[in-house]
């Protein structure tokens, strides 16, 4: 593809200085939880970043999106083609990395070579672009089509090979109207770190399926054979470890799991006794709306309902708050969520532990020190 260079300058200059940086090269960072839970729509400068390789600098005028495979008409589309051929669609959706809350799993057993994300590998934006389904219908779905694969224009190195990050989603999800080829985030053109000039956004699925710097779409019979679909982002039971895992036996991750997370107070915080406001976010399974978030200050014996802030909306996260009375001494506060389809969370992180550290949706807890 023409028009790709390595970024000559530091592209994270437009990011908020308070971001927690989990790795400088490639750049992986997220907002401090206290700032994260402050706004329903995460400002772009605070939005978490997950990169596996380079951040390509793509000339938007030279850019072309290739659509090929089991379709009737192969396509090569410029950004103007996309904007002028298809109606614009806006979707507010949370994006969550499968590795969010991995840090809690490290206390069970070590997880080498993976980022120790705490609560900050999630954010929410208003995305604008065109529905993938419209582009696929324009291309004409061919016989035997069952999956849609995506490849990015970045360069990642794994197992001695260099290639673009890739993923695939089942055709049924690809034809759902919420899946976007997005050129805007929060009302502005996408920034380099978030996939400019065009990225996929798959609401309700793990972040890894939302391929940035999208170069190619292939309609095919099988899931993508890209490392990040075929090998990484597979889910194993807690008893499997790196020495016993059979790669193909893990479940390819797609829909997010329901969970509620306490952003404030933080673990270890010292607070006065009496009423305290607890704040956080929650997501439903596969992006479904939340039914309730509950808090416990007594180890899970009794639960109080939190107030859900704003609307309960599909694809969006839910911010919530609750007031609980703190007694002097060490006190543990636990949060849990139930979504509109009745999905609930496992209680203990030992139930969710897996050797890659994905999808931790155990009840979230923080321990605070309460004064007299």
Ligand X SMILES: Nc1nc2c(c(=O)[nH]1)N[C@H]1C(S)=C(S)[C@@H](COP(=O)(O)O)O[C@H]1N2
List contacts with ligand X (CB under 6 A). 47-52, 95, 97, 152, 154, 165, 194, 207-208, 210-213
Closest approach of Cβ 231 to ligand X, in Å? 14
What gap in Å lies between CA 354 and CA 370, rounded to an integer?
34
Binding Mo ion (rule: CB under 5 A), the pick from 31, 32, 207, 250 is 207
Binding Mo ion (rule: CB under 5 A), the pick from 46, 122, 208, 291 is 208
Give the residue with the Cβ less far from ligand X, 194 or 234: 194
Residue 97 near Mo ion by CB under 5 A:
yes
Give the residue with the Cβ less far from ligand X, 48 or 363: 48
Closest approach of Cβ 97 to Mo ion, in Å? 3
DSSP 8-state class, residue 226: S
Span near Mo ion by CB under 5 A; candidates 140-148, 165-173, 206-214, 216-224:
206-214
Q: Which two tokens stand for residue 86?
A: 């298809």
Closest approach of Cβ 183 to ligand X, in Å? 14
Give the residue with the Cβ less far from Mo ion, 53 or 300: 53
Span near Mo ion by CB under 5 A; candidates 27-35, 72-80, 189-197, 208-216:
208-216
Closest approach of Cβ 276 to ligand X, in Å? 31
Residue 295 near Mo ion by CB under 5 A:
no
Closest approach of Cβ 122 to ligand X, in Å? 9
Closest approach of Cβ 211 to ligand X, in Å? 5
What gap in Å lies between CA 170 and CA 154, rounded to an integer?
23
- Sign of the CA dihedral running 161, 167, 171, 174: negative
DSSP 8-state class, residue 284: -
Residue 50 near Mo ion by CB under 5 A:
yes
What phi and psi, each to the nearest 5 degrees, are found at residue 193?
A: -65, -30
Residue 152 binds which entry of ligand X, Mo ion, none, with Cβ cut-offs from 5 to 8 Å by kind?
A: ligand X
* Torsion angle of C-alpha atoms 206, 294, 352, 287, degrees rounded to 10: -20
Give the residue with the Cβ less far from Mo ion, 70 or 101: 101
Reported residue count of the chain is 372
Q: Check if the beta carbon of residue 197 is closer than 8 Å to that of residue 79.
A: yes
Give the residue with the Cβ less far from ligand X, 86 or 228: 228
What gap in Å lies between CA 65 and CA 215, rounded to an integer?
5
Give the residue with the Cβ less far from ligand X, 118 or 294: 118
CA 361 to chain centroid? 13
Give the residue with the Cβ less far from ligand X, 96 or 288: 96
Pairing type for strands 199-201 and 180-185 reads antiparallel
What gap in Å lies between CA 12 and CA 14, rounded to an integer?
5
User: Is the omega angle on the peptide bond into residue 365 within 30 degrees of 0, that is, cis?
Assistant: no
Span near Mo ion by CB under 5 A; candidates 24-32, 153-161, 202-210, 295-303:
202-210
Closest approach of Cβ 233 to Mo ion, in Å? 8
Q: Which residues pair with 317 in a beta bridge?
A: none
Residue 211 near Mo ion by CB under 5 A:
no
What gap in Å lies between CA 228 and CA 254, rounded to an integer?
12
Residue 51 binds which entry of Mo ion, ligand X, none, with Cβ cut-offs from 5 to 8 Å by kind?
A: ligand X
Give the residue with the Cβ less far from Mo ion, 86 or 257: 257
Q: Which among 212, 214, 197, 191 has a CA at the least distance from the CA of 13?
A: 191
Q: Which among 247, 102, 232 has a CA at the least distance from the CA of 158?
A: 232
Closest approach of Cβ 292 to ligand X, in Å? 27
Closest approach of Cβ 284 to ligand X, in Å? 18
Residue 136 binds which entry of ligand X, Mo ion, none, with Cβ cut-offs from 5 to 8 Å by kind?
A: none
* Torsion angle of C-alpha atoms 9, 42, 343, 178, degrees rounded to 10: -80
Q: Which residues bind Mo ion (CB under 5 A)?
A: 50, 97, 207-208
């Amino acid at each position: 593809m023409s028009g790709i260079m390595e970024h000559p300058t530091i592209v994270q200059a437009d990011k908020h200085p308070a971001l927690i940086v989990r790795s400088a090269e490639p750049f992986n960072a997220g907002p401090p939880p206290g700032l994260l839970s402050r706004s329903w729509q995460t400002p772009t400068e605070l939005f978490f970043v997950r990169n596996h390789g380079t951040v390509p600098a793509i000339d938007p005028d030279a850019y072309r999106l290739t659509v090929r495979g089991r379709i009737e008409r192969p396509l090569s589309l410029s950004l103007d083609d996309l904007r002028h051929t298809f109606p614009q669609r806006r979707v507010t959706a949370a994006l969550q990395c499968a590795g969010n809350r991995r840090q809690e799993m490290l206390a069970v057993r070590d997880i080498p070579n993976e980022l120790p994300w705490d609560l900050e590998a999630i954010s929410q934006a208003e995305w604008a672009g065109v529905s993938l389904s419209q582009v696929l219908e324009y291309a004409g779905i061919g016989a035997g089509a069952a999956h849609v694969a995506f490849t990015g224009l970045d360069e990642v190195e794994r197992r001695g090979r260099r290639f673009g990050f890739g993923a695939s989603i089942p055709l049924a999800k690809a034809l759902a109207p919420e899946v976007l080829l997005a050129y805007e985030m929060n009302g502005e053109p996408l920034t380099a770190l978030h996939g400019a000039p065009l990225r996929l956004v798959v609401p309700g699925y793990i972040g890894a399926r939302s391929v940035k710097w999208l170069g190619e779409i292939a309609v095919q019979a099988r899931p993508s054979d890209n490392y990040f679909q075929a090998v990484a982002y597979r889910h194993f039971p807690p008893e499997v470890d790196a020495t016993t895992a059979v790669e193909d036996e893990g479940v390819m991750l797609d829909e997010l799991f329901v969970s509620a997370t306490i952003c404030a107070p933080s673990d270890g915080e010292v607070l006065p006794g009496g009423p305290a406001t607890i704040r956080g976010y929650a997501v439903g399974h596969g992006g479904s709306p939340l039914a309730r978030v509950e808090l416990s200050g007594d180890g899970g014996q009794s639960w109080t309902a939190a107030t859900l802030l704003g609307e309960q909306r599909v694809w969006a996260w839910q911010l919530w708050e609750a007031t609980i009375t703190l007694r002097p001494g060490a006190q543990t506060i636990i949060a849990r969520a139930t979504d509109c389809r009745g999905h609930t969370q496992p209680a203990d992180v030992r139930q969710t532990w897996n050797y890659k550290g994905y999808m931790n949706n155990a009840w979230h807890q923080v321990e605070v020190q309460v004064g007299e």
